[in-house]
Amino acid sequence: MRVMIVAAVAAALFSAPLGAVAGISPANPGPVTRNPAVMGSWVSLPCRAGNGDVSRELYVTNNTSAAIPSGTVIYWKVDATAGKQTLAAALAPGATDSLLGPPGPGGVCTASFPK
């Protein structure tokens, strides 16, 4: 009896389209997630890392011709550590802001934000 039930459930699951099992249909496409790393483009910013035992400052410069608005999330990576920080104030063209990074010696970092 148990084998027949398992076989019937398996047959029902594998004979139906996957979307039907998950409740997804053309009328109900399911949740849409927008990932800026996949959709849209990124703007790279020059970045330089300072020194620090507890943390180090990451100096990011706006090399674009327009201000980067406050509230923009800047994603950064230095060494093997990555993080992000939201701008508290607009960053004018040519201006440099410091972000808080992991401890370590100075060096090169990368920074960008989704366009």
- pLDDT bin (cut points 50, 70, 90) of residue 27 is low
- How high is the pLDDT of residue 21? 44
Domain count, the chain: 2
The 10s digit of each residue's pLDDT in 38-51 is: 446 999 999 999 88
Residue 49 shares a structural domain with residue 100: yes
Structure tokens at 23: 């409740």
The 10s digit of each residue's pLDDT in 64-82 is: 999 999 999 999 998 888 9
- How high is the pLDDT of residue 100? 86
User: Would 112 be classed as within a structural domain?
Assistant: yes
Q: What is the pTM of this model?
A: 0.62
Residue 57 shares a structural domain with residue 99: yes
End-to-end CA distance of the chain: 59
Smallest CA-to-CA distance from 79 within 54, 61, 101, 94 is with: 101
Range of the domain at 19: 1-30
Residue 23 shares a structural domain with residue 48: no
- How high is the pLDDT of residue 41? 92
Higher confidence at residue 34 or residue 94? Answer: 94
- How high is the pLDDT of residue 81? 87
Whether residue 76 contacts residue 110, with contact meaning beta carbons closer than 8 Å, is answered with yes
